[in-house]
Amino acid sequence: MVALFISELHYIIPFYVNTSKISGLLLPLKQQINLLADQCVKCGMCLPGCPTYQLSHNENESPRGRIALMQGIVNDQLALSSRVIEHLDHCLGCLGCEKICPSDVQYQILIDAIREYTQTKQSPLTAKAQAGFISLFINPTIQNGLFALLRFYQFSGFQKLLRFSGILKLIGIDKQEQLLPKLQPQLTLQPRYSSTGDSLGTVALFIGCMGKHFEQSAIQASIQVLTRLGFDVEIPEQVCCGALHQHSGFHHQAETLAKTNMQFLQNNHYTAVLFTASGCGAQLQSSLKTSPLPITSLMDFILQQIKKTPVVFNAIEQHIALHQPCSLQNTLRQADAVTAMLTKIPGLKITELQSQCCGAAGKNMLTQADLAAQIRQPLLNQIPDSITGIVSSNIGCTIHISAGCHHKIPVIHPIELVAKSLQ
């Protein structure tokens, strides 16, 4: 009995930590971190799957090394120096480690918890300022204003002028500025779209806070495919998924956003809640564990539907490179659905890029642009010359990969190919 209990600890401890979070009976962070970190047996099997370790071959840049740093920090054996924080900040949250760890170490919970812990060690004013800055960035009014300015910046010729003048480099934002793809006009969405035939049900589409600015074509294609397959589509009132707050150590702010999104999930006339961006989907699934509705990736949902009601796909004679985001592969584990869907399209030649993080990692591509670009390079090296486009299911990855190709190769969401093929 005791042996059985010990052998099941790998499942029991994360379950306990998660349940204590959900029930509000939170363990102190130090105990949460120690409990989860003690699951690591320091075997090193995760090292080949860690992009930052592969780049640096520095143990402090590996999952095992970071777990040891976490243990040192919370047990007051290691000072919280800027160098230690940097090693933790470099973590991409890609979960390449969690996927291959034989001890089932819950690395995502650990890295989020240590970031929350380090936030509590900062001056409250600094932590408040950081959280406030992220909240400002996701505020819809501020966002709309900011993107209107960015469109003006691109269309007026200011972008060319500033790039040419060298000012951007002088003030140290040239690499961040180069990430900006050519912006399209902001999408105006109706709250509801009706199915083209008899309705099979209503689905809610989660587009997050950035979808309207960066994923206009993917959202339009999603509505087109879903209504064509017989679903009414609603775009409910929603706020940011909270991933930026969560992965920056601001758990409470992420929780507040989750509670707001929970309100539309209470609406039981939905068959499912679907998301286009896998990063938002991963955050929604983890923060809304008590959701009464299934929260699933758009491509997985469509794949299940066409298994029940087959449809005819028209040929698309193109060669594409397929990138599977870490959030889809390692967190949601629904990457296979994208491959399965795209292989149904006749004529489409697919080169699937090897499992490799693109380096975008939420805000890392902005705050650690050089490291993000180095992580991205092996992925770009795999892209064949003959391709006409790249496919990826996450906004951050799309932007970062597109910038890596100097925005010369279209990087699109897989749903856009499905929509084109069903036309």
Q: Cα separation of 65 and 60, whole Å?
A: 5
Q: Are 210 and 277 in contact (CB under 8 A)?
A: yes
Q: What residues numbered 25-84 form the site for ligand SF4, per CB under 6 A?
A: 40-46, 49-52, 63-64, 66
**Strand 411-412 relative to strand 389-391, pairing:** parallel
Q: Which amino acid is at 322?
A: L
For ligand SF4, the binding residue among 35, 97, 243, 284 (CB under 6 A) is: 97
In terms of DSSP H, where are the helices of 122-203?
Answer: 124-138, 140-155, 158-165, 167-170, 174-177
Q: Could you say which of 33, 70, 74, 92 contacts ligand SF4 (CB under 6 A)?
A: 92
Q: Please tell me whether residue 93 binds ligand SF4 under the rule CB under 6 A.
A: yes
Give every CB contact of residue 319 below 8 A, 6+ residues apart in sequence.
Answer: 349, 350, 351, 384, 386, 387, 388
Q: At 6, which helix (H) or strand (E)?
A: helix 2-7
- Residue 375 three-state SS: helix
Nearer to ligand SF4, 42 or 121 (CB): 42
Please state, in angstroms and rounded to a whole number, the distance separating the CA atoms of residues 339 and 320: 12
Torsion of CA 133, 139, 143, 146, to 10 degrees: -50
Instruction: Write out the binding residues for ligand SF4, residues 98-157 only, by CB under 6 A.
Output: 101, 103, 105, 107
Closer Cβ to ligand SF4, 37 or 298, answer by number: 37
Q: Is the dihedral of CA 181, 183, 184, 186 positive or negative?
A: positive
**How near is the Cβ of 41 to ligand SF4 at its closest, in Å?**
5
Using the structure block, give the residue that is written with the tokens 């190919």: 417
Q: Does 362 bind ligand SF4 (CB under 6 A)?
A: no
The residue to which tokens 């930590």 are assigned: 17
Options 70, 91, 203, 299; binder of ligand SF4; rule CB under 6 A = 91
| Binding residue for ligand SF4, selected from 17, 70, 73, 94, defined by CB under 6 A | 94
Site mask for ligand SF4 (CB under 6 A), range 316-355, x = bound? ----------------------------------------
* Per-residue tokens: 375: 């992580």
- Rounded to 10 deg, the angle between the 395-404 and 278-287 helix axes is 150
Give the side-chain half-sphere CA count within 13 A for 24.
Answer: 0
Shortest distance (Å) from residue 282 CB to ligand SF4: 13
**CB nearer to ligand SF4: pick between 61 and 232:** 61
Q: Which is nearer to ligand SF4, 10 or 30 (CB)?
A: 10
Q: Which residues pair with 319 in a beta bridge?
A: 349
Beta carbon nearer to ligand SF4, 58 or 266: 58
Closest distance to ligand SF4 from the beta carbon of 97 (Å): 3
Instruction: Kindly state the number of chain residues that form the binding site for ligand SF4, as judged by CB under 6 A.
Output: 25
Residue 109 or 337: the one with the smaller Cβ distance to ligand SF4 is 109
Looking at the Cβ atoms of 279 and 414, the one nearer to ligand SF4 is 279
Residue matched to tokens 């706020």: 239
- Mention every residue, 6+ apart, whose C-beta is less than 8 A from residue 167: none
User: Closer to ligand SF4 at the Cβ: 211 or 249?
Assistant: 249
Restricting to residues 372-411, name those near ligand SF4 by CB under 6 A.
none
- For residue 272, the minimal CB distance to ligand SF4 (Å) is 28
State which of positions 237-256 bind ligand SF4 (CB under 6 A). none
Which residues bind to ligand SF4, rule: CB under 6 A? Answer: 40-46, 49-52, 63-64, 66, 91-97, 101, 103, 105, 107
